[in-house]
Structure 1
Amino acid sequence: MSLLPVVLVDEQPPEPGASKDLLWIGLDEQDRRYALKTVEPGHKYLPLTEWLCYQLCGLAGIITPDFAVVTRLDGTEAFGSRWEETARQFSPGKVSDAEFIGWLARARADVSAMFALDAFMPNDDRHLGNILFTQSGARLRALAFDWSRTRIFEPWPWAAGCNSAMVWQWLMGPNPPLVNLKETQDRMDRIQAITGQQVEAILEAAPELWRDNFDCAAAGRAGRQATHTMTPNIAHYGVLSHYPQPNRTEHANIGIVVFLADGSVRVHFGQDLKKLRAMDPQVDLDAVRSWETGLPKMLAGQNLEQATTFLQHFGQWKLSGNLGKFSYTDEDNYLLRVANALHSL
């Protein structure tokens, strides 16, 4: 964030095709450009939302373009995100599929980190064009920008079918994934450590015009509640393996059985069971997947020791003797952890 006042000397409309929330680009005396977010009739808290999210990024170690409160030609104050002149940005007409995936792979840690805040706030509009790629020495960095469609501290998850959810699902699809789940969780932990008082102080530091009738104290309380409801739970899990011939050691890991703190059980199979079919052509994959719901019902009422003992000899299936464990905060976070465990099979 710029500590010196930024006064604009020129303002221009953006090029066609820019974000619908970007109405002006401002230039200061040194010809540095800023993407401006201003108070608008349909989104009066637009600059305040950007201000809060950029500040939270700084506290959580998520990199963004530089930003500042800028004074416009009419004397009003706008949120200004410094224009990254040398940054690269996704455009299907200019960047090939292979090139773009290469960018994401090289900047995996940064991309993973930004989705932590997108999930926490939540921000429904992290589309592929809302990531800037810049070269820092030999390292390619990914910068997060544009939180215009953030719902400040509203409950998770993302809105069904929103850009953030679809992009995250796509990033999780390749093998290996284009995101690092540990990096996402680490940044989520740092965000959770931000107090409600810090959130309130950030909001109170914004220009008064941006805060018109906005309850900063209530937002701070909402931030505390969001942190409180994300207190980690501990789950134990074992790897479920299929043995085509019980008397031989050859087997395929097919999924995990998760034992939750409340005594319930959940079963998750890998998305791709081709290895299982190749090893045992007689396997009915639909029958296998039916046990995602059938097995928890069968294990209902059993404690952890009873359930794990029962699964040591479950037909051609066997549960690993040693259980792993992971922490999670809510359903979305739980599914991230499960995906990570399945990926490591």
Structure 2
Amino acid sequence: MQASLVPIRIVQQLPSNQDSADLKTIGLGDDGFEYALKRIEDHPLLPISEWMGYQLSRAVGLFTPDFAPVWLDEDTPAFGSRWEQAAQIGVPPHPVELANFFGGSMRQLNEPIFGVDAFLPNDDRHGRNFMWRSTSAGTVPLAFDFSRAWLITGLPFGKHPLQADSTTLAMWSYLKAQFGYQVPAQVFQKIATLPDEWLQRVLDAAPHQWIAGFSPKPTIEFWVQHRQQRCNEAMSLL
């Protein structure tokens, strides 16, 4: 899905009716699926930041919605995350929902998402920024929505560390106290041992229009030279 052989073209754009400050548009693709669209016009670095968040999540073994570059016209690619009917908690959440989706065995499945968030960093992981898919093997969380992560927060590799009053750390603190969440050390180990050329490949696979808003060399150098240090610093936040 990430590298479709047949380009997906958006045939209709509609205003989002979701309760989200960052998701402005839903697009209907010529493949018959709906996509949450993150467009260059929303922010020049928004599509590439979402691309990185999803790619990194997949690289360390997390589930995400299917995603791909989708084309608004012949020259304008947006980041498209396939819209699916997956569960989210209500507003305000019911205690039973919190226990079912964040407690028990769900803890070990949700924890790694915070590891990716702390590394990038992503300061906006709150209760409605979790989604769960029902599968034959059970319920699994989906890592999605990196609209306030990575390059969006600052070059060359995001504004780090997360602030103590960030939504992400507030949510982590709540889950740690309520359900005994623990630092997902394995995720940081996986990130640290990804190949040095991994990020270059991720950027090369993205539409060139998404890279036009920044110079990628310092970002790639940071990945190669400071990835382990960022992992250590991110781990100490959780």
Q: TM-score range by the shorter chain?
A: 0.7 to 0.9
Deviation of 1:53 after TM superposition, in Å, equals 1.4
- Deviations along 1:195-254, one digit per CA (max 9) or x if unpaired, are 4421122113211211114222211111123324258xxxxxxxxxxxxxxxxxxxxxxx
Cα deviations across residues 34-61 of structure 1 (Å, max 9, x unaligned)? 00000136x2110010111111111111
Distance in 2 of aligned mates of 1:335 and 1:209: 34
Cα offset, 1:31, TM superposition: 2.7
Partner SS for 2:197: helix
1:8 is aligned, of 10, 24, 48, to 10
Give runs of aligned pairs for residues 253-268 of structure 1, distance below 5 A.
none
Match of 1:92 in 2: 91
Q: State the one-letter code of the partner of 1:24.
A: T
Residue equivalent to 1:165: 169
Q: Distance in 1 between matches of 2:142 and 2:207?
A: 25
Residue 333 (str. 1) matches residue 235 (str. 2): yes
Aligned-partner SS, 1:68 = strand
Partner amino acid, structure 2, of 1:20: A
Which residue type is aligned with residue 94 of structure 2? S
TM-score w.r.t. structure 2 length?
0.87
Residues 67-86 of structure 1: CA distance to partner in whole angstroms, max 9, x if unpaired? 0110115751100001122x
Deviation at 1:21, TM superposition (A): 2.0
CA drift of 1:157 comes to: 2.2
Q: Do the aligned partners of residues 16 and 58 (structure 1) sit closer, same or farther apart at CA in structure 2, a change above 3 Å counting?
A: closer
CA apart distance, 1:99: 2.0
Report the CA distance shift for 1:213/1:32 in structure 2 as closer, same or farther (over 3 A). Answer: closer
Query: In the TM superposition, what is the alpha-carbon distance from 1:169 to its structure 2 partner?
Result: 0.6
- Match in the other structure for 1:65: 65
Q: Percent identity?
A: 33
Residue 139 of structure 1 deviates from its aligned partner by 1.1
Matched, 1:140 2:135: no
Paired letter, 1:207? P
Map of 2:154 onto structure 1: none
Q: Pick closer, same or farther for the CA change 1:206–1:91 going to 2, 3 Å.
A: same
CA distance in structure 1 between the aligned counterparts of 2:205 and 2:68, rounded to whole angstroms: 12
Report the Cα distance in structure 1 between the residues aligned to 2:139 and 2:145, rounded to whole angstroms.
Answer: 20
- Report how far residue 103 of structure 1 moved: 1.1
Counterpart residue number, 2:219: 219
Amino acid at match of 2:13: E
Alignment-mate amino acid for residue 100 of structure 1: L
Unaligned runs of 5+ in 1: 232-328, 337-345
Q: Which amino acid aligns with 1:169?
A: S
Give, as a single letter, the amino acid of the residue that structure 2 aligns with 1:113: P
Q: Distance in 1 between matches of 2:224 and 2:187?
A: 17
Superposition pairs of residues 185-264 of structure 1, within 5 angstroms: 185-230=185-230
Structure 1 CA distance for aligned equivalents of residues 59 and 182 of structure 2: 20
Higher relative contact order (CA 8 A, sep 6+): 2
Alignment partners' CA distance in 2, 1:113 and 1:185: 8
* Larger-Rg structure: 1
User: 1:110·1:143 contact (CA, 8 Å) conserved in 2?
Assistant: no
RMSD (CA atoms): 2.1
Change (3 A) 1:180 1:334: closer
